[in-house]
Amino acid sequence: MREKFVNSFDEISDKLIESTIEIFVGMVMMDISVAGDPLTKLGPMKQSITGMVGLAGTHKGVLAVHFPKPLALAVTSSFLGMDVEEINEDVQDAIGEIANMLGGNLKTILSDKGKDIQLSLPSTISGDEYNFSSQAEAEQLIIPFKAPDGEFFVEVELEHA
């Protein structure tokens, strides 16, 4: 059973990479690429902002996207087509919306029906240093991406079925 779950994480990884690139190239207007193999653990976030959405229903967990602040500003500037110089409501909204779109795609990957998984509204956290802690029983997948202004991470945590 566990092996089946791990295999499904490989499928999630491939489709999530495709979705992330589609969002950045098609809507953020920024070229990105995968920066290496998936990770299973991240250290403390420093000078960063995290956007996240929760999943409930047949699959429970969270999708998060972690950006260092300078990259978050560049992403928001490119997304909105205007200069953004500090972490403000526009940045929080933009990063939250990226998490929301990725969460929607993850939901579609996990179920094509729609009503058996519910997505929370997106939220963000930011700070000089913080930990994004996982559920003890959750399986983690962390995909590193490279953008022109730095690296960011897309993280999925799913509880065992």
Partner 1 sequence: MAKNVLLVDDSSTMRKIISRSLRQAGLDFGEIFEAGDGQEALDVLEKESVDIVLSDINMPNMNGIEFLREKASRDGIKDIPVFMISTETGDDIIGEAKSLGAVGALKKPFTPDKVNEVLGPLM
Residue numbers at the binding site for partner 1 (CB under 8 A): 22-23, 26-27, 76, 79-81, 89-90, 93-94, 96-97, 100-101, 103-105, 107-108, 111-116, 119, 121-122
Question: Of 128, 123, 117, 28, whose CA–CA distance to 80 is shortest?
Answer: 28
Report, in Å, the least distance between residue 86 CB and partner 1: 16
Kindly tell me which of 27 and 161 has the beta carbon lying closer to partner 1: 27
Token digits of residue 100: 């929301």
Kindly tell me which of 90 and 149 has the beta carbon lying closer to partner 1: 90
Report, in Å, the least distance between residue 134 CB and partner 1: 23
Kindly tell me which of 13 and 76 has the beta carbon lying closer to partner 1: 76
Report, in Å, the least distance between residue 140 CB and partner 1: 22
Report, in Å, the least distance between residue 50 CB and partner 1: 16
37: three-class secondary structure by DSSP: coil
Contacts of 62 (CB under 8 A, 6+ apart): 52, 53, 54, 55, 155, 156, 157
Alpha helix (H) residue ranges in 24-159:
69-80, 89-110
Look at the alpha carbons of 145, 127, 41, 156 in this order and tell me if their dihedral is positive or negative. Answer: negative
Q: Rounded to whole angstroms, how far apart are CA atoms 147 and 5?
A: 30
Kindly tell me which of 38 and 51 has the beta carbon lying closer to partner 1: 51
Kindly tell me which of 7 and 58 has the beta carbon lying closer to partner 1: 58
Burial level of 103, CB count in 10 A (0-12/13-18/19+)? buried
Report, in Å, the least distance between residue 135 CB and partner 1: 23
